[in-house]
């Protein structure tokens, strides 16, 4: 993933639109969510399939 995507540039662009801490549940780290999204797109994973894949990594 590091060789394929320029993460720093992409994160800087998205940062202004990503939810900030406030009332309610704190948002997940932006970089983690973005990496999960890319994995979902690359491997055609549904939300639940991506969640299961992440739990299997532990």
> What does pLDDT average to in each consecutive run of 10 residues of the chain (58 residues)?
86 91 87 92 94 83
Q: What is the structure's pLDDT at 58?
A: 60
State the residue range of the domain holding 38.
27-51
* Residue 5 placed within a domain: no
Structure-token pair, residue 45: 């994973």
Q: How many domains does the chain fold into?
A: 1
Q: What is the structure's pLDDT at 38?
A: 93
- Alpha-carbon distance of 3 to 54, in angstroms, equals 21
* Residue 14 placed within a domain: no
Structure-token pair, residue 53: 């894949």
Q: What is the structure's pLDDT at 49?
A: 94
* Residue 8 placed within a domain: no
* Residue 17 placed within a domain: no
């Amino acid at each position: 993933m590091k060789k394929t995507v320029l993460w720093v540039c992409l994160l800087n662009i998205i940062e202004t639109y990503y939810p900030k801490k406030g009332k309610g549940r704190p948002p997940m780290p932006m970089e983690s969510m973005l990496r999960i999204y890319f994995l979902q797109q690359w491997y055609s994973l549904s939300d639940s399939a991506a969640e299961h894949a992440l739990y299997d990594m532990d």
